[in-house]
Copies of this chain bind each other. A is one copy, B any other.
Amino acid sequence: MNKKIIKIINPNSSKKITKEIDTIAKNTANFNTKIITTRYVNGISSIENYYDEAICIPNILKEIKKESKNKEIKGYIIACFGDPGLLAARELTKYPVIGIAEAAMHITSLISTKFSILTTLPYCIPMIQKLINTYGFKNICCNIHSINLSVNKIKKHTKELIKKIEKKCQIIIKNDNCNSIILGCSAMSPLSNYLTKKLNIPIIEGISSAVKLIETLISLKLFIN
């Protein structure tokens, strides 16, 4: 049996983040799924506002378009917690396309009616609030918080950083009375397992969620022509 390929498009240029995304995805994927992860080689190193998103979208779309005759790729993941270009991407292919923010939110809503989100910079809070409103999770999202660090500062998972995020999560759990937290940035994704164990509630990230949801859609053969 041929493996089904899921192509993950990291819209930033960071090799480190791309590698981590790839690792998480491969660890999550079914044995008959093959993961291919690309990055935006000539793109920016992090995506932290609407401009950054807008600029990386054409590359995301190009990455999908160039596979239009590739019958082995059965689904696409946009690996940025703003889901840039999602609806446009879906117009390009009959195969499923999923963003990691929507993936994390849908998965979380299946286990929790009171989750909070932790993102990078304060500027991103209203950006994520907009996603929450659009996707319909307003009533079950308690709050959106920021660790007040840029993606580039979060990329290196120093002990100090991990401690800081862990503490922030503890405060969020106490104040929001939430029972799960979504990590709102792919650069934080590798910390989700560690934090889940330490904090004793699910700390969810979007890449693994997206991989499983794409596998689900492929398996259910749900294609919009």
Contact B179 A224, beta carbon cutoff 8 Å: yes
Q: Mark A143-182, 1 if CB is under 8 A from B, else 0.
A: 0000000000000000000000000000000000101100
Contacts A91-B50, A125-B177 given: A222-B111 contact, CB under 8 Å?
yes
Contact A107 B50 (CB under 8 A): no
Specify how many copies of this chain sit in the oligomer. 6
- Asked if A22 is at the interface of the complex by the 8 Å CB criterion, the answer is no
Chain B nearest CB, measured from A211 CB (Å)? 9
Per the bound structure, the CA–CA distance linking A96 and B112 in Å amounts to 10
Tell yes or no: A2 within 8 A of B by CB: no
Interface string of A78-120 (1 = CB under 8 A from B): 0000000101101110001010001000110111111000000
Chain A residues within 8 Å of B, Cβ to Cβ: 28, 30, 49-51, 53-55, 57-58, 61, 85, 87-88, 90-92, 96, 98, 102, 106-107, 109-114, 122, 125-126, 129-130, 133-140, 177, 179-180, 200-202, 204, 208-209, 212-213, 215-217, 219-220, 222-225
